[in-house]
């Protein structure tokens, strides 16, 4: 089980220690917590060249539960758990994640080998892996043909890395 780290330490690991040289300084991870909010939630986002590319606000969870309820009330014979899994998959394909999802993906990424992370079912884990310095040019070339099968938001990060390495 991974140990809990402060965000500053995690950010340093992601942006400096594990980030490939070609993307250092271009990719930033941002997390905040709204302490005065009634539930203390916040958001996580990933910036490339100071532009938000992937935003994970806490409101995604609320929208997800509303969508599950809407489908259930529309007469779906699936269970709430099945509907939740279905909605979550659809949201993830669109790049919609709950901030906690990033934490789970980060734990998985830091616990697994880079090869396991590149093949992970969790697309956030794959995104973290593709920007990792341990992924070399040969691996990137090997991955390139399968990129078209991934969600558009994840393709962006693969193309970013491939272009930054001039492959």
Q: What is the Cα–Cα distance from 113 to 118, expressed in whole angstroms?
A: 9
pLDDT band at 148 (very low <50, low <70, confident <90, very high): very high
Strand, helix or coil at 40? coil
Query: Which of 96, 117, 146 is a domain's end point?
Result: 96
Tell me: do 71 and 134 sit in the same domain. no
The range of the structural domain enclosing residue 76 comes to 59-96
Tens digit of each residue's pLDDT (9 = 90 or more) over 9-46? 999 999 999 999 999 999 999 988 777 665 567 788 99
pLDDT for 58: 76
Q: How many domains does the chain have?
A: 2
Could you tell me if 155 and 148 are in contact, meaning their C-beta atoms sit under 8 angstroms apart? Answer: yes
Tell me: do 63 and 39 sit in the same domain. no
End-to-end Cα separation, the chain, in angstroms = 36
Tell me: do 79 and 16 sit in the same domain. no
């Amino acid at each position: 089980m991974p140990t809990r780290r402060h965000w500053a330490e995690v950010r340093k690991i992601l942006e400096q220690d594990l980030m490939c040289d070609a993307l250092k300084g271009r990719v930033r991870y941002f997390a905040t917590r709204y302490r005065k909010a009634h539930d203390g939630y916040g958001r996580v986002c990933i910036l490339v060249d100071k532009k938000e590319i992937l935003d994970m606000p806490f409101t995604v969870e609320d929208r997800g539960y509303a969508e599950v309820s809407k489908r259930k009330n529309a007469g779906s014979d699936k269970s709430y758990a099945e509907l939740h899994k279905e909605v979550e998959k659809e949201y993830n394909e669109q790049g919609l994640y709950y901030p906690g999802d990033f934490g789970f993906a980060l734990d998985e990424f830091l616990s697994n080998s880079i090869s396991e992370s590149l093949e992970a079912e969790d697309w956030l884990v794959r995104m973290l892996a593709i920007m990792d310095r341990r992924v070399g040019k040969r691996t990137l070339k090997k991955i390139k043909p399968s990129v078209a099968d991934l969600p558009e938001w994840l393709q962006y990060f693969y193309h970013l890395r491939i272009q930054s390495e001039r492959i």
